[in-house]
Amino acid sequence: MNTLMTIEKQTSIDFPVEETRRDFPILSTSVHDHPLVYLDNAATTQKPQMVLDAIDRYYRAENSNVHRGVHFLSELATKKYEAARGTVRKFLNAGSEREIIFVRGTTDAINLVAATFGRKNVQAGDEVLVTGLEHHSNIVPWQMLCEEKGAKLRVAPINAIGEVLLDEFAGMLSGKIKIAAISHVSNALGTVNPVKQMIQMAHQHGIPVLVDGAQAVPHMRVDVRDLDADFYAFSAHKVFGPTGLGILYGKTRLLGSMPPYQGGGDMIKSVTFEKTIFNDIPYKFEAGTPHIAGAIGLAAAIDYMNHFDGKALQQYEQTLLRSAHEKLAAIQGLRIIGDAREKAGVVSFILKGIHPHDIGTILDQEGIAIRTGHHCAQPVMQKFGIPATARASFAFYNTLNEIDELVNAIHKVKEVFGHV
C-alpha cells in the first residue's frame, strides 16, 4: 500500500495527466451516465484537439489534390502532405523521406510487403517466419503468400508467460527463410519483443525482417536505424491520429528492388498503352489519390506527442501498467494472461467462471470501455487454451484513478454473477 501511494504521488508530479486529458475532447464525455473510462487504447486511441484541428483546417482551407495541379491550393496540399512524410521520417529516425510510404494502415503495409517483396523473393520450398504472438494481420498475408508459392509458414513458439523463445527462434533461422515478420509489441498480451536482438540474429543469416510496430509506437520511441529493421509498419489511429492511414518504412535498397503494389495514378512516370514507366520510391507504392487529410492528421499527432518528454511519458505508462497488474492480480479468481518481463500498455485477463464477453457488457454499463474477445490473435488464445480474454489497454491520458474504477467494476461483475 505504501509503495503504491508513493507511486501515485510521484506520477502526479512527473506527468501532468489532468492537463493532458483536457487535450482530448472525448475524455470528458459520459457513457451510460458515467464519465468515460477509456481502456481500449490497443484497439484505437483517442484524438487530441490538435489533430482534430489539423484535419478540420485541411478540409476547410487547404483541400486539394496532391502532385497534380499548379494552382495555389494544390501546391499547399502537396507541401503539407510531403511535410507530413518528413515528420514521420524524423519520428522513426529513418534515413530518407523516400523510405516512408503512406498506406492505409499496418495491415495494408504488411500486405504490401507480402505482395511485392514476398512474391518476388519467396519461392516453392522457401519459408516465412513469424512468431506465436502475432495477430491475424501479421499471419494471414504470409499464409496467403506461402499458399500461392508452395512455401512454408514457420512459427517461433512462445512460453507460458507470453515471450518468444529466442533459442527456438534462433534454431529456425536458415537460408530457407526469405523474410521474418515479428511484432514489436503483442496486441493481445502486451509483450515487448527484443526486436533489435531478433533482427541481429536474422541478419546473421541474411534474412530481412519486417517489424509490426502498431502496438509499439504509441508507447516508446522507435528508431528504425538503431533497430536495423528492414521494414517497419504502424497505423496512425493507434498513435492519436486518424483512421485509414498507416506507414510502411522500408530500406531504400529493398523498396527500390520491389515491384509496385497497385497500379494507378501517381505511381507512374509515363503511361502509354504499350508501356508504363513506374515512378521512383516512395510514389511507386502510392497509387491513386492518397489519404491527404490522414497524413496531415498523423503529422499533427506526432507533433503533439513530441510535446512530451518521451522518458517521463514511458515511465508514467509503466506506472499505470504496474498498478493495473498489482491491483488486478489481487482480485480473487482473476488470472492475468501474459506476464512477460517486458510489457507495454496491455493487461489481458480472465475471471473464473465468467466469460470475457459478460465482463465487457457489465463494465460498459459503468462507462468503462475495454476489449473482450480473441483480439484478432486466435493462435495466442489457443496457446493459452482459452477462447477469449478481457483486455484493458492504456495510454498516457489514463489515470491511476481509472484503474481503481476498473478494479471496482470487476468486483461488480463478480457481484452480478454471485461470485462475491
Partner 1 sequence: MSDLKALYQEIILDHNRNPRNFKKMEDASCSVDGYNPLCGDHYTIYLKLVNEIITEISFQGSGCAISKASASVMSTVLKGKTRAEAGVWFENFHHLVRGENKNEKSIEEFGKLAAFAGVSEFPARVKCAILPWHTMKNALEEKKETVSTE
Give the residue numbers marked as catalytic.
Answer: 376
Nearest to 397 by CA among 29, 21, 94: 21
Contact 270, 25 (CB under 8 A): no
Smallest distance from partner 1 to CB 40, Å: 14
We find the least distance from the C-beta atom of residue 193 to partner 1, in angstroms, to be: 25
Minimum gap (Å) between residue 416 Cβ and partner 1: 5
312: left (phi over 0), alpha (psi -120 to 50) or beta: alpha
Q: Determine the residue type at 158.
A: I
Cβ closer to partner 1: 2 or 30? 30
Alpha carbon dihedral 99, 217, 294, 320, in 10-degree steps, equals -170
236-to-88, 197, 291 alpha-carbon distances in Å: 10, 26, 11
Nearer to partner 1, 154 or 391 (CB): 391
Interface with partner 1 (CB under 8 A): 32, 353-358, 361-362, 365, 372-374, 381, 387-388, 412, 416-418
Q: Which secondary structure element, helix H or strand E, spans residue 352, and what is its range? A: none
The CB-of-136 to partner 1 minimum distance in angstroms stands at: 11
DSSP state of 71: S
Quote the CA–CA distance of 107 and 359 in Å, as a whole number: 29
Q: If you count DSSP H runs as helices and E runs as strands, how many of each does the chain have, helices first?
A: 16, 17
Q: Which residues pair with 391 in a beta bridge?
A: 348, 371
Nearer CB in complex with partner 1: 321/334: 334
What does the block give as the cell for 99? 523510405
Nearest approach, Cβ of residue 39 and partner 1 (Å): 17
Closer of 80 and 371 to partner 1 (Cβ): 371
Angle between helices 2-14 and 400-416 (to 10 degrees): 130
Kindly give the interhelix angle for 400-416 and 310-329, rounded to the nearest 10 degrees: 20
Which lies closer to partner 1 via its Cβ, residue 152 or residue 355? 355
- Minimum CB separation of residue 213 from partner 1 in Å reads 26
